[in-house]
């Protein structure tokens, strides 16, 4: 039911996604480099608070706190055996706070290594890990799966296929792009057109970009136009960072203010984006400012 309503609303009006999870949890006390997914079990009240703030900001889409919730990344924190538990809990927390006010995107990030032949991970092992994660997210009530911050189209393809084969009706897939001498590329050197083509071929229902540490909001406008041209009829999502991280007096801050985010939102929509939100450094204030300009009525 909720999947159908999400599909319908996406066709009808632009949707607003939430902002950062990781940097927000760090502001609540998560140490940089620590495993945020463990908080779904250890500090559910803090994860609830994060979701509550984004619902209050007016987000249409809530992202689960499960970005690194695959067996590879959790394994680095000694928690490879807790994939189902932590993803199930993450999805349930977001679902609980979303209520009827928002849809829940079950978040899947990269597995953290390289696939063969560049690395030593077999594609079937990565796909199995993504399937395990997606299954728990869907069981916990995720309305769609978000595969994000990918650099390698082959890895994104595995994750999208894993989500679909596990029963996800809607899969959103995004890459992190960066500037290069020859234009916008993923870290693996993939062009926007090739990246989008791989995502659509894999079965993604929505494609786009998130994160991208060096990209300004103006860069994101250009990126959006490139994505839309490549995606053709497939809807496009963009989730910029709040500028580049700035280290000052041992504290990380981000350059783009909530007002700058809100000013950029209409330009991103005019460039053809159908879902806008924020990545690293964006806060409930950024999303609330965007809500003021991204109307709920078409």
Q: What residues does 17 pair with on adjacent strands?
A: 61
Torsion angles phi and psi, residue 83, rounded to 5: -55, -50
Residues 239-268, one symbol each (x = binds Zn ion by CB under 5 A, - = not), give ------------------------------
Give yes or no for residue 25 binding Zn ion (CB under 5 A).
Answer: no
The site for Zn ion, by CB under 5 A, has a size of 3
What are the residues whose beta carbons fall under 8 Å from the beta carbon of 164, sequence distance 6 or more? 171, 203
Stretch of 77-85, 102-110, 117-125, 204-212 lying at the interface with Zn ion (CB under 5 A): 204-212
Give yes or no for residue 280 binding Zn ion (CB under 5 A).
Answer: yes
Closer CB to Zn ion, 238 or 280, in the complex: 280
Alpha helices in 13-122 (DSSP H): 22-27, 39-42, 44-57, 71-76, 83-98
Give yes or no for residue 279 binding Zn ion (CB under 5 A).
Answer: yes
Stretch of 106-114, 118-126, 185-193, 272-280 lying at the interface with Zn ion (CB under 5 A): 272-280
Closer CB to Zn ion, 126 or 280, in the complex: 280
Q: Least separation, in Å, of the C-beta of 147 and Zn ion?
A: 14
Q: Least separation, in Å, of the C-beta of 188 and Zn ion?
A: 17
Residue whose C-alpha is closest to residue 260's, from 229, 281, 237, 246: 281
Q: Least separation, in Å, of the C-beta of 213 and Zn ion?
A: 8
257 DSSP 8-state letter: -
| Residue 218: Cβ-neighbour burial (10 angstroms; 0-12, 13-18, 19+) | exposed
Distance CA 287, CA 240 (A): 12
Site residues (CB under 5 A) for Zn ion, limited to 211-230: 211
Binding-site ranges for Zn ion (CB under 5 A): 211, 279-280
């Amino acid at each position: 039911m909720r999947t159908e309503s999400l599909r319908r609303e996406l066709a009808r009006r632009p949707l607003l996604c939430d902002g950062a999870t990781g940097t927000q949890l760090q502001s609540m006390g998560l140490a940089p480099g620590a495993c945020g997914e463990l908080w779904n079990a250890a500090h559910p009240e803090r994860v609830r608070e994060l979701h509550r703030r984004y619902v209050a900001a007016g987000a249409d889409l809530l992202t689960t706190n499960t970005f690194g919730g695959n067996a590879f990344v959790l394994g680095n924190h000694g928690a490879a055996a807790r994939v189902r538990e932590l993803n199930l809990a993450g999805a349930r927390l977001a679902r609980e706070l979303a209520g009827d006010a928002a849809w829940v995107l079950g978040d899947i990030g990269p597995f953290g290594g390289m696939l063969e032949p560049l690395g030593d991970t077999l594609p079937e092992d990565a796909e199995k890990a993504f399937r395990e994660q997606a299954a728990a997210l869907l069981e916990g009530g995720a309305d769609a799966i978000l595969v994000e911050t990918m650099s390698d189209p082959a890895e994104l393809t595995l994750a999208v296929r894993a989500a679909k084969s596990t029963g996800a009706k809607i899969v959103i897939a995004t890459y992190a792009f960066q500037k290069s001498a020859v234009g916008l590329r993923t870290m693996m050197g993939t062009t926007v057109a090739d990246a989008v083509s791989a995502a659509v071929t894999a079965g993604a229902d929505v494609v786009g970009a998130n994160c991208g540490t060096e990209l300004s909001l103006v860069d994101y406008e250009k990126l959006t136009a490139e994505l839309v041209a490549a995606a053709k009829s497939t809807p496009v999502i963009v989730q910029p960072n709040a500028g580049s991280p700035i280290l000052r007096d041992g504290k990380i801050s981000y350059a783009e203010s909530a007002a700058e985010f809100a000013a950029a939102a209409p330009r991103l929509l005019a460039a053809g984006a159908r879902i806008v939100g924020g990545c690293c450094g964006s806060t409930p204030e950024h999303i609330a400012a965007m809500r003021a300009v991204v109307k709920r009525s078409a």
